[in-house]
Amino acid sequence: MFKQIFIVNRAYLSYRNNSMIVKNDAGATPICLDDIDIVIIENQQTTLTSSLLSHLALANIVVIFVDERHIPSALSLGLYKNSRTAKIQRSQINLSKPKLNRLWREIVISKVLNQADLLSTIKPNDQYLYTLINKIHSADKNNIEAIAAAYYFKALFGVGFGRKNAQDGRNIALNYGYSILRSSITRHIIAYGLNPTFGVWHSSELNAYNLADDLFEPFRPIVDRYVVEHISQETQELSSKDKQGLVGLLYSKVKDSNGRIIRVNEAIKHIVASYQSYCLGKREDIELFYLIK
């Protein structure tokens, strides 16, 4: 399995012979790039060479930088390496509004179903979210996604919970976990020659990752489940164990529409690849994934 590298203490990171060299007070440790999935820089006094960043980008390894609040704040990704980037992005930009609207409906259905499944495992008698699914139409014109989210978070975490409360430890963990999975989706979007700015539904001119935010929606309950099971409201700072647990969600299991069990990082790759095919007119839907109850 690929490694997730956490740089917690001050270090000097450089490149040599297809390896990242981690130098600190304990000495110098080489880590082969072929074995790395994600590098997370937790210590703000860590130094990286431009040569290392370049080779990490060429190897399609995402580097995530964490701010003083221990929340991912920036990422380093390679530029487009797909040989058909121009063709893919033209087809992406030219997708018709009806096709985008239909696709957004399917994404919202998948997200709400995953939220309903998670909630029903905690509160078996709570079936409300299931009743909303048949009300989701093209472009989610009835805004069921927002209605479901408002109910879901209060049912999951308690009536006093609010996503804007930065002092709530559960929000700290949610933001951390969401950032990790969103970064992984962004990496694959670029690898498949897509432009992350042009989304299915999200379209903010201030957001460079609209498409990542769209494709990420069905995966949110994966993070929510970890947080409700492991994090309390009083948590002020995530432990190393919890950070590793949240990053480790990339290697947890989900099921596809045929019931096949795969890892989340594989599911992310499949959903992005299927969206590329959707843009190119090779298929009429995209791969969507569901929680294992």
Q: pTM score, two decimals?
A: 0.89
Q: Which residues are registered as beta bridge partners of 4?
A: 38
pLDDT at 218 (0 to 100): 97
pLDDT at 249 (0 to 100): 97
The pLDDT tens digits for 44-71 are 899 999 999 999 998 989 899 988 777 7
Average pLDDT, the chain: 93
The pLDDT tens digits for 219-247 are 999 999 999 999 999 998 899 999 999 99
How is residue 177 written in tokens?
């976990």
Does residue 82 carry a pLDDT above 80? no
Backbone angles phi, psi at 266, to 5 degrees: -70, -40
- The share of the chain scoring above pLDDT 90, in percent, equals 80
Residue owning tokens 């769209």: 214
pLDDT at 68 (0 to 100): 78
pLDDT at 103 (0 to 100): 97
Confidence label for 77 from pLDDT (cuts 50, 70 and 90): confident
Rounded CA gap, 172 and 193, in Å? 32
The pLDDT tens digits for 86-107 are 899 999 999 999 999 999 999 9
What is the mean predicted confidence (pLDDT) over 135-151?
97
Residue owning tokens 């494709």: 215
Listed residue (292, 293, 286) closest to 105, CA to CA = 286
- The share of the chain scoring above pLDDT 70, in percent, equals 98
Q: Are the C-beta atoms of residues 142 and 135 closer than 8 Å to each other?
A: yes
Domains identified in the chain and CATH numbers: 3-76 (3.100.10.20), 85-290 (1.20.120.920)
